[in-house]
Amino acid sequence: MTKQPTKQRSKLVVGNWKMHGRLAANAALLEAVARGVQALPADVRVGVCVPFPYLAQTQALLGGSRVVWGAQDVSAHEQGAYTGEVAAGMVADFEAGFAIVGHSERRAYHGESSEVVAQKAQRALAVRLTPIVCVGETLEERESGATERVVGAQLDAVLAALSVEEAACIVVAYEPVWAIGTGKSATSEQAQQVHAFLRARLAAKGAQVADVPLLYGGSVKPENAAELFRQADIDGGLIGGASLKEGDFLAICAAAAAGARVAG
Ligand code: PGA
């Protein structure tokens, strides 16, 4: 009997530095990450999303390495009189690969609706940046049983604005708001349950969309990463606090390598 090849998605680990960093500290961190990832198997992809002013520094230090860099947001507009905004095309000028869109901190503190997030995803795709579309419920929403309704609506708003071909090029990050920066990660079962739901929503958009990378984010640490990454529908992580410490970030990347082997 011929053995059917097991479907295997590679793992992706992306650091989200948030509003942290200074030139000198960034250099040490970026150089350590670029060096550390050399030891990882090829089926683990690694990225870092840095504050806008540090894109040039990141490009200079990571160019030629296997680490992909990106921004944490882009404007919903292409260009124009939008003081303080940064266009996706400007980010792409620095050979970036990713743009996080719809992070819960942007939704909560800057009033971004899912429609605005969808426009941002479109702007990113138009300049060949991969949008990392974040979705996630608050504690109150989880406790009232609204998790799937909330994350489903957040994802659907983006999918509705994209063609099937475009949707196949995104990354989705499930980040429960109550788990971000709290030290209280979702359990692997809780995360897998939501990921399976999101996977089905993606598959409903089109067969090519079913396999977009689905990252988990929210208090991922070296101690819980392997267990999370072992889950069938968790393709990696979006890492906040732990991405600022080279040892922790590289340990999480190594856990993804182990998870990729188990999944295969
Ligand atoms: P955290 O943040 O890992 O610090 O919880 C994750 C994120 O907000 O992307």
Q: Provide the pLDDT for residue 262.
A: 57
Domain 11-263 belongs to what topology?
Answer: TIM Barrel (3.20.20)
Domain boundaries, the chain: 11-263
Question: Which residues have C-beta within 8 Å of that of residue 37, sequence separation ≥ 6?
Answer: 44, 46, 65, 66, 67, 250, 253
pTM exceeds 0.75: yes
Q: CB under 6 Å to ligand 1: residues?
A: 16, 175, 180-181, 217-220, 238-242
The protein residue whose alpha carbon is closest to atom 2 in ligand 1 is: 240
Active site residues: 103, 175
Return d(Cα 211, Cα 235) in angstroms, integer: 10
pLDDT of the chain, 264 residues: tens digit per residue: 444 444 568 999 999 999 999 999 999 999 999 999 999 999 999 999 999 999 999 999 999 999 999 999 999 999 999 999 999 999 999 999 999 999 999 999 999 999 999 999 999 999 999 999 999 999 999 999 999 999 999 999 999 999 999 999 999 999 999 999 999 999 999 999 999 999 999 999 999 999 999 999 999 999 999 999 999 999 999 999 999 999 999 999 999 998 666 554
141-162 burial by CB neighbour count: b if 16+ within 10 A, else e? bbeeeebeebbbebbbbbbebb
Length of the chain: 264
Q: Provide the pLDDT for residue 9.
A: 81
Return d(Cα 7, Cα 204) in angstroms, integer: 19
Mutate to test the pocket of ligand 1, among 171, 239, 245, 249 (most ligand atoms within 8 A of CB): 239
Q: Provide the pLDDT for residue 2.
A: 44
CA angle, residues 94, 53, 212, in degrees to nearest 5: 55
In sign, the C-alpha dihedral spanning 215, 220, 221, 225 is negative
